[in-house]
Amino acid sequence: MTPGGQWVRLGAAQRSDIEFSLDGEPAKARLGDTLLTAILLVRSRLSMTRSTDPHAGFCLMGACQECWVSADERPVRACSTLLAPGMRVVTRRHAAGD
Protein backbone atom coordinates (compact mmCIF):
# COMPACT_ATOMS: atom_id res chain seq x y z
CA MET A 1 0.00 0.00 0.00
CA THR A 2 1.31 3.42 -0.90
CA PRO A 3 1.97 5.52 2.18
CA GLY A 4 1.12 9.20 2.32
CA GLY A 5 -1.83 11.00 0.84
CA GLN A 6 -5.08 9.42 -0.23
CA TRP A 7 -5.52 11.79 -3.16
CA VAL A 8 -3.42 12.32 -6.26
CA ARG A 9 -2.98 15.47 -8.31
CA LEU A 10 -3.72 14.99 -12.00
CA GLY A 11 -1.99 17.01 -14.63
CA ALA A 12 0.53 19.78 -14.19
CA ALA A 13 -0.81 22.53 -12.03
CA GLN A 14 0.21 26.07 -12.91
CA ARG A 15 -1.00 27.36 -9.61
CA SER A 16 1.35 28.94 -7.11
CA ASP A 17 2.39 27.32 -3.85
CA ILE A 18 0.81 28.24 -0.54
CA GLU A 19 2.32 27.62 2.86
CA PHE A 20 0.08 26.88 5.78
CA SER A 21 0.15 24.97 9.03
CA LEU A 22 -1.52 21.59 9.47
CA ASP A 23 -2.03 20.49 13.06
CA GLY A 24 0.87 22.69 14.07
CA GLU A 25 3.27 21.45 11.41
CA PRO A 26 4.32 23.47 8.35
CA ALA A 27 2.69 22.24 5.15
CA LYS A 28 2.40 23.21 1.51
CA ALA A 29 -0.35 23.15 -1.08
CA ARG A 30 -1.44 25.22 -4.06
CA LEU A 31 -3.58 28.26 -4.57
CA GLY A 32 -7.08 27.05 -5.41
CA ASP A 33 -6.83 23.93 -3.25
CA THR A 34 -9.56 23.38 -0.74
CA LEU A 35 -8.54 22.42 2.79
CA LEU A 36 -9.68 18.88 2.08
CA THR A 37 -7.46 18.63 -0.99
CA ALA A 38 -4.49 20.07 0.85
CA ILE A 39 -4.89 17.61 3.70
CA LEU A 40 -5.65 14.49 1.65
CA LEU A 41 -2.71 15.00 -0.66
CA VAL A 42 -0.44 14.32 2.30
CA ARG A 43 -2.62 12.23 4.59
CA SER A 44 -4.94 9.26 4.38
CA ARG A 45 -7.51 10.80 6.66
CA LEU A 46 -8.60 14.13 8.10
CA SER A 47 -8.35 13.38 11.74
CA MET A 48 -6.43 11.05 13.98
CA THR A 49 -9.31 9.94 16.22
CA ARG A 50 -10.92 6.53 16.42
CA SER A 51 -10.29 4.53 13.30
CA THR A 52 -13.88 3.34 13.06
CA ASP A 53 -15.02 6.86 12.36
CA PRO A 54 -15.23 8.11 8.81
CA HIS A 55 -12.68 10.86 8.59
CA ALA A 56 -11.47 11.33 5.06
CA GLY A 57 -14.35 13.25 3.60
CA PHE A 58 -17.10 11.62 1.61
CA CYS A 59 -19.47 13.69 -0.52
CA LEU A 60 -17.28 16.70 -1.28
CA MET A 61 -20.35 18.87 -1.79
CA GLY A 62 -21.25 19.99 1.70
CA ALA A 63 -23.93 17.38 2.34
CA CYS A 64 -22.38 14.67 4.53
CA GLN A 65 -20.87 17.06 7.13
CA GLU A 66 -17.95 14.70 7.72
CA CYS A 67 -15.13 17.10 6.86
CA TRP A 68 -15.46 19.77 9.54
CA VAL A 69 -12.08 21.06 10.61
CA SER A 70 -10.83 24.21 12.25
CA ALA A 71 -9.25 27.02 10.18
CA ASP A 72 -7.84 29.94 12.16
CA GLU A 73 -10.00 28.79 15.08
CA ARG A 74 -13.19 28.86 13.02
CA PRO A 75 -15.05 25.64 12.23
CA VAL A 76 -15.30 25.14 8.48
CA ARG A 77 -16.12 22.35 6.07
CA ALA A 78 -12.82 21.38 4.52
CA CYS A 79 -14.42 20.42 1.18
CA SER A 80 -16.00 23.82 0.72
CA THR A 81 -13.25 26.09 2.06
CA LEU A 82 -10.34 27.38 0.02
CA LEU A 83 -6.92 27.38 1.56
CA ALA A 84 -5.42 30.79 2.27
CA PRO A 85 -1.72 31.54 2.83
CA GLY A 86 -0.74 31.17 6.47
CA MET A 87 -3.97 29.46 7.42
CA ARG A 88 -3.75 27.47 10.66
CA VAL A 89 -5.62 24.26 10.01
CA VAL A 90 -6.43 21.88 12.82
CA THR A 91 -8.09 18.63 11.87
CA ARG A 92 -9.07 17.54 15.33
CA ARG A 93 -11.59 20.19 16.36
CA HIS A 94 -12.21 18.88 19.81
CA ALA A 95 -9.89 17.43 22.43
CA ALA A 96 -11.43 13.99 22.20
CA GLY A 97 -14.52 12.19 20.96
CA ASP A 98 -15.77 13.03 17.52
- Residue ranges that bind another protein, judged by CB under 8 A: 1-2, 6-11, 13-16, 30-34, 37, 40-41, 44-45, 51-66, 68, 70, 73-75, 79-80, 82, 93-98
Of 8, 93, 6, 22, residue with least CA distance to 58: 6
Determine the Cα–Cα distance for residues 63 and 94; give it in Å rounded to an integer. Answer: 21
Determine the Cα–Cα distance for residues 59 and 74; give it in Å rounded to an integer. Answer: 21
Q: Minimal distance in Å, beta carbon 40 to another protein?
A: 8
25 or 73, CB closer to another protein?
73
34 or 87, CB closer to another protein?
34
Give phi and psi for 64, each to the nearest 5: -80, -20
Q: Minimal distance in Å, beta carbon 41 to another protein?
A: 7
